[in-house]
Structure 1
Amino acid sequence: MKVFVTGGAGFIGSQYVRAMLAGEYAGYEDAEVTVFDLLTYAGNTANLPIGHERLTFVRGDIRDAAALEEVLPGHDVVVHFAAESHVDRSVAGAVPFASTNVVGTQQLLDSCARHDVATVLCVSTDEVYGSIERGSWDENEPLQPNSPYAASKAGSDLVALACRRTHGLDIRLTRCSNNYGPYQNAEKLIPLFITNLLRGKPVPLYGDGRNVREWLHVADHCAALQLVLTDGEPGEVYNIGSGVEVTNVSIARRLVELCGADPSMIRQVADRKGHDLRYSLDFSKITKLGFTPSIEFTAGLESTVQWYADHPDWWPAETA
């Protein structure tokens, strides 16, 4: 079995690769893994067991057809993580998001179709649904993205599903809630707050902090992805959630406590443009495949804080 992982040096992709190479996924214990990653700001080879006998790393861009043609043929499975993913960056400049997330996905899928890849798993986000005041989204909800990032991921989803219908490619699509855990880039909320607080610096809380997100540990997310890869159905979309909904201000207060900081370190700042109020997923469809989150949120958050405390060399450099 040969598995091609785009964006495999990033936060979620590297967790998936590490777990597969560690033999955590039944039937894939001997899989050969190729990580294809451009190594932008969020990608880091330090996230990977470079030198592992079953791992090949290739630096490349999913928008580069020639690069894909050189390395993709011969792989049985593609797991597609590669994406520009930070909402704030997309608000500041949306073009790279449209280019990578939409054009890049199309380029990748065209190559998969040409080379008869058996299965393609496309990893997406709950943000494509927009914002929901009450209840939870199921997989049949219309896509109503509110940020350039979310719109580009919705475009990626539609490209993937169209490729399924046009070429008959076995494409499976997942949409996950917010992830947390080790190795996450420190521009995201939880690692940003942890590293700031451990340095004795204040943390910026958008608006009044009432925004609600559903949190899932990255290891649980990757286990769910593997479940969809092995037991999911071609052409189907699967929401991956936890049922753990927490306001941003509650997250900030928990992290202040876990980091031994003073509550005054939470500083309210101007809200982000188009900031969605609440996300919530109905993930009953994937539970029928056997998925249940295994990492309880409080314990997972504590272990994440400890990981960052134990790895100060992984933190971003301080800026003046």
Structure 2
Amino acid sequence: MNLLVTGAAGFIGSAYVRMLLAAGAAQDNGVLRVTVLDSLTYAGSLDNLDLSDPRLTFVQGDICDAPLVDQLMAQADQVIHFAAESHVDRSIASADAFVRTNVTGTQTLLDAALRHNVDRFVHVSTDEVYGSVESGSRTEQDPLDPNSPYAASKAASDLLALSYHRTHGLDVRVTRCSNNYGPRQFPEKIIPLFLTTLLDGGDVPLYGDGLNRRDWLHVEDHCAAIELVRAGGSAGRVYNISGGIELSNRELTGRLLAACGADWTQVRHVPDRKGHDRRYSIDCTRMRTELGYSPRHDFESGLAETFAWYRDNRDWWEPLKRRQSAGPTGGAALRRPLGGLPA
């Protein structure tokens, strides 16, 4: 079994690869081999992968590079597509990279998968494509209503991927997850940003009134769910993946402050972000009933484990924050008030 995993030097993709390799060499009655394709943008790090594992091959490259993608796809049995520009704040500042990577990059992969008769293509997406949810939870049958350039680019890539199933018969499976957290998340999202800043004794920025609500999903539960979809899902299906813990950003901030032994004097209330969605909520009944999904991590222990990892691994995150602060492309974005919409 040869798997091509895109974007797997990043937070979620690398967790998925580590999970696969830790499970052993045998997958689907064959020897598992994983090829990671990642362009190593600011959010990717080779420290997230064990490059000494003989089952793992790393290729630095762009998913929009059609000749390279074609070469790798010719050797692949299945594809798990994580690669994406994913931070909403950055998409508001400039949407170009989001359209290029999330839409054109996905199309490049799909075209190559079709040419080489890839067995299945798992496309990893987000609950943000459904837009803000006033009440209840969105199911896979609900219409897409994205509000940020990031969410719009992911919605476009979802529809494009599903069109290759309906038009060409390519086995495409789409997953849409709620907000992930856990070790090795790049420190621009709310949990690692707040934890690392508070660990340094700094102040953290909270958008607006802090009442925007999100569901939280441990990255390992997300990866286990993706593997359920890859191994047992159905072609042409969309699968929502949630963690089952909904918090306002203010409630989350209180828990992060408590974890770090800090208090509300270290919180700065900053103007709300443009187009800030009030609430996300997805129904994962399909995952539970069809594939037996159930998250293993409760939020209290998962957050405690995440705090401990950032506390004990400064050598991982401190260089990333220094690099962002220095720019040239990352510095301005980091100095903008982040933390309103974790994704």
Structure-1 residue corresponding to 2:91 = 90
Question: Alignment partner of 1:5: what SS?
Answer: strand
- Quote how far apart the aligned CAs of 1:317 are: 3.3
Counterpart contact for 1:25–1:226, Cα < 8 Å? no
Structure-1 residue corresponding to 2:13 = 13
Q: Which amino acid aligns with 1:307?
A: W
207 and 25 in structure 1: CA distance in 2 versus 1, 3 angstrom threshold = farther
- Quote how far apart the aligned CAs of 1:261 are: 1.3
Distance 1:131 1:24 in 2: 40
Counterpart contact for 1:19–1:25, Cα < 8 Å? no
Matches within 5 A, 1:271-290: 271-288=272-289, 289-290=291-292
How many positions carry a matched residue from both structures?
320
25 and 284 in structure 1: CA distance in 2 versus 1, 3 angstrom threshold = farther
* CA RMSD after TM alignment: 1.3
The answer to whether the aligner puts 1:297 opposite 2:333 as a matched pair is: no
Distance 2:313 2:45 in 1: 15
Counterpart contact for 1:224–1:291, Cα < 8 Å? yes
Structure-1 residue corresponding to 2:340 = none
The answer to whether the aligner puts 1:265 opposite 2:266 as a matched pair is: yes
26 and 252 in structure 1: CA distance in 2 versus 1, 3 angstrom threshold = farther
Matches within 5 A, 1:207-222: 207-222=208-223
Question: Alignment partner of 1:252: what SS?
Answer: helix
Structure-2 residue corresponding to 1:317 = 321
Q: Which amino acid aligns with 1:299?
A: S
Matches within 5 A, 1:89-128: 89-128=90-129
Distance 1:271 1:146 in 2: 15
Matches within 5 A, 1:1-320: 1-23=1-23, 27=27, 30-288=31-289, 289-315=291-317, 316-318=320-322, 319=325
Q: Which amino acid aligns with 1:317?
A: K
Counterpart contact for 1:206–1:269, Cα < 8 Å? yes
Range 262-271 or range 171-180, more displaced: 262-271
Counterpart contact for 2:25–2:31, Cα < 8 Å? no
Stretches of structure 2 that go unaligned for 5 or more consecutive residues are 327-343
- Quote how far apart the aligned CAs of 1:75 are: 1.0
Question: Alignment partner of 2:188: what SS?
Answer: coil
Distance 1:110 1:96 in 2: 20
- Quote how far apart the aligned CAs of 1:26 are: 7.4
Counterpart contact for 1:125–1:153, Cα < 8 Å? yes
Question: Alignment partner of 2:58: what SS?
Answer: strand
Identity of aligned residues (%): 57
Question: Alignment partner of 1:91: what SS?
Answer: helix
Counterpart contact for 1:23–1:30, Cα < 8 Å? no
- Quote how far apart the aligned CAs of 1:161 are: 0.6
- Quote how far apart the aligned CAs of 1:24 are: 6.5
Range 15-24 or range 201-210, more displaced: 15-24
Counterpart contact for 2:25–2:32, Cα < 8 Å? no
Counterpart contact for 1:243–1:281, Cα < 8 Å? no
Stretches of structure 1 that go unaligned for 5 or more consecutive residues are none
Q: Which amino acid aligns with 2:282?
A: L
CA deviations over 1:88-141 (Å, ceiling 9, x no partner): 000000011011100110010000000010010000000000000100000011
Counterpart contact for 2:127–2:282, Cα < 8 Å? yes
Counterpart contact for 2:26–2:32, Cα < 8 Å? no
Distance 2:34 2:267 in 1: 42
Counterpart contact for 2:176–2:238, Cα < 8 Å? yes
TM-score, normalised relative to structure 2 = 0.91
Counterpart contact for 1:206–1:271, Cα < 8 Å? yes
Counterpart contact for 1:91–1:148, Cα < 8 Å? yes
Distance 2:186 2:25 in 1: 25
Distance 2:271 2:24 in 1: 43
